[in-house]
Structure 1
Amino acid sequence: MSEFLPKEVREGLEQARLRDAKFVSRLRVHSGGEVFRILKMTDDGFTLDGEKGLRGFVEIYEGNRPISQCLIVRADSDGDEVRYIFKRRTPIRDRAALDFAEPDNKPAGLLSRH
């Protein structure tokens, strides 16, 4: 269908899609005091709009909550979008790591007798 539309209409639709993606996404990349919105996130990387010159260690946040620490490299660009891939991605946990194995049948809670 897009090949039947005039070039100006296709470009306008693409700009509107990029603009909407910026406002919908709660995911952000923090790198050296700078913050960038993530347009698309996949298991092996993410996409930002425009050339940011990111490389190395970054942190990914969902809103105000950090979700992972990553080492990234620039993969390729497609128009105004630049794709970065993860060399390493470590999830950030909300509690300390356990130094013992939890039993499979541990109780979910404690009911009082009263």
Structure 2
Amino acid sequence: MTTFLSAEVQAGLEDARKRGLQKSRRLRVEAGNQSYSVIRAWDGGFALHAETAPHLRGLVDLYDGAHHLSRCLIVASEEEGPEMRFELKVVNEAGSEQPVDFERADNAPVALISKV
């Protein structure tokens, strides 16, 4: 049995797949108390809907659903069609631990056990 799909059908399936990925994408940017959905992301930047996104610049937080990915310093680069594109100037990955300002020894105790 052979499976053959015409170029038009393959293009339609690819378009439907891309639309499905956009709907399932949970990336969002938070600036202050405002949240904006990311429609496209790449190394070094992301794009928001131009009609809902202001010309953001400065410090923002990038989330995937409820998971905090990074804190970024951004600048608006250009508006093209329905997209407003932003460049990432500095990216600090979010970690599960708070940063410390001292060196931790490899053999340091992880807990204090006292004699009773």
Could you tell me which residue of structure 2 aligns to residue 72 of structure 1? 74
Could you tell me which residue of structure 2 aligns to residue 112 of structure 1? none
Q: Distance in 2 between matches of 1:85 and 1:37?
A: 16
Could you tell me which residue of structure 2 aligns to residue 105 of structure 1? none
Q: Distance in 2 between matches of 1:81 and 1:87?
A: 19
1:17-32 to structure 2, matched below 5 A, reads: 21=22, 23-32=23-32
Q: Partner letter of residue 73 of structure 1?
A: V
Asked which structure has the greater CA Rg, the reply is: 2
User: CA-to-partner distance for each residue in 1:43-77, whole Å, 9 max, x for gaps?
Assistant: 20101111522111100011011110011001112
Of stretches 74-83 and 50-59 in structure 1, the one that deviates more from structure 2 is 50-59
CA RMSD of aligned residues (A): 2.4
Q: Could you tell me which of 42, 56, 59 is aligned with 2:58?
A: 56
Q: State the Cα distance separating 1:92 from its structure 2 match.
A: 0.3
Q: Distance in 2 between matches of 1:37 and 1:69?
A: 16
Q: Could you tell me the percent identity over the aligned residues? A: 30
Q: Please give the secondary structure, in 2, of the residue aligned with 1:58.
A: strand
Could you tell me which residue of structure 2 aligns to residue 4 of structure 1? none
Number of equivalences? 87
Going from structure 1 to structure 2, the CA distance change for 1:61 and 1:50 (only over 3 Å counts) comes to: same
Q: Distance in 2 between matches of 1:88 and 1:100?
A: 26
- Uncovered stretches (5+) of structure 2, i.e. residues with no partner: 1-14, 107-116
Q: Distance in 1 between matches of 2:79 and 2:26?
A: 22
Q: TM-score, normalised by structure 1?
A: 0.65
Q: Distance in 1 between matches of 2:94 and 2:62?
A: 10
Q: TM-score, normalised by structure 2?
A: 0.64
- Uncovered stretches (5+) of structure 1, i.e. residues with no partner: 1-12, 103-114
Q: Partner letter of residue 66 of structure 1?
A: H
Going from structure 1 to structure 2, the CA distance change for 1:82 and 1:100 (only over 3 Å counts) comes to: same
